[in-house]
Amino acid sequence: MFNHILPWSEKYRPQKLSDVVGQEDIVKSLKAFVEAKNMPNLLFAGPPGVGKTTCAVALAKELFGEGFSANFLELNASDDRGIDVVRGKIKDFARSVSIGDVPFKLIFLDEGDALTTDAQQALRRTMESSSSVTRFIISANYSSRIIDPIQSRCAVFRFMPLKEESVVSSLEKVCVAEKLPHDLEALKTVYYVSEGDMRKALNVLQSSAMQAKKITSEVVHKISSRATPVEVKQLVELAVAGNFMGAREKLDSLLINYGLSSEDILLQIYREIPTIAIDEKSKIKIVAAVGECNFRLVQGANERIQIEALIAQMALLK
């Protein structure tokens, strides 16, 4: 009813496991759990925007059908994640009996790596004592932040960043549904900006659609405050060729035209290094210099001085 006011990242979120793209092997396993109406505790690990939450909710909907709301509890990072929640809300829900023909309830802890260590220690005992009536799904961007006793109680599914063809095909469907003029190169640019994050890709596409009647690569780069790969590559090539002042002028152009921070430029330089026509030894030196520059930026050094120092180091390779 209110779909027209939802952000596209929610409006076009897959509602069924069969609609999830880019994670075919994981979806196949989850469908087997639905057919068997039985499953172990699960740990979904991977970067943001690749389908962890979508798969958990879609799995619950296919398992429970009309009994979804009564048998499914979702807690995310906006909720209190301390030990009191585990001892109270989670424990109470976990001990209750399921409603319907599925013999267990499902608790989904989104961004489980935000749970405190004490809360995780309390959770592991709850997972064990309520195993006959409750299953847990824990999602985390970094599985290493989940304590080993919980990891050993879960089947781990590792979600990969989405591939270009999966993101572009999904964006194509959205453009058709929204009657949005576009070209293929623009959708590839959205993928470049999103780096395999479907949620970010849809948000960039929606923002671009509100700014222009037709989606083009130029519009996408402008909306996302990203320089084009060609311009960043030109910056690196000028520096590697020993033309420090030319590279410095290009840097000024990127900073002024796109309003980029030095860290944004640094990340794009890093992505373009493999495409530069120089020997492997020089690429290694540039990557090492980028790492050192990034460390100094994180420590609070002057951004402009550090990024120009990086360009100077690349120019010295000549």
**pLDDT profile of the chain (318 residues), mean per 10:** 68 86 90 90 91 91 87 74 69 77 87 83 84 88 89 91 90 90 90 89 90 87 82 90 90 80 86 88 92 91 90 87
Q: What is the pLDDT of residue 83?
A: 67
The superfamily CATH assigns to domain 3-158 is P-loop containing nucleotide triphosphate hydrolases (3.40.50.300)
Q: What is the pLDDT of residue 30?
A: 92
Q: Which CATH class is domain 229-316?
A: mainly alpha
Q: What is the secondary structure of 174-209 as a DSSP string?
A: HHHHTT--B-HHHHHHHHHHHTT-HHHHHHHHHHHH
| Cβ contacts of 172 within 8 Å, gap of 6 or more | 187
| Cβ contacts of 218 within 8 Å, gap of 6 or more | none
CATH fold of 164-223, please?
A: Helicase, Ruva Protein; domain 3 (1.10.8)
Q: What is the pTM of this model?
A: 0.79
Domain boundaries, the chain: 3-158, 164-223, 229-316
